Amino acid sequence: MNEQLKIFGANLLKHMNARQISAAVLAERADVSIKTINNVLQGRHATQIDKLAKISDALGVQFWTM
User: What digits encode the pLDDT tens for the residues 14-66?
Assistant: 999 999 999 999 999 999 999 999 999 998 877 888 998 999 999 999 888 77
- 49 domain-assigned: yes
Q: Which range marks the domain in which residue 20 is found?
A: 3-59
Q: Flag whether pLDDT at 4 surpasses 70.
A: yes
Q: Cβ-count burial of 18 within 10 angstroms (0-12 exposed, 13-18 middle, 19+ buried)? A: exposed
Q: What is the pTM of this model?
A: 0.86
Query: What pLDDT shows up at residue 8?
Result: 87
Domain count, the chain: 1
- 10 domain-assigned: yes
Instruction: Give 33's DSSP letter.
Output: -
How far the first Cα of the chain sits from its last, in Å, is: 18
- 65 domain-assigned: no
Instruction: Give the residue among 11, 4, 59 at the shortest CA–CA distance from 32.
Output: 59
- 66 domain-assigned: no
Domain of 14, CATH number, reads 1.10.260.40
Axis-axis angle for helices 34-41, 49-59 (nearest 10): 90
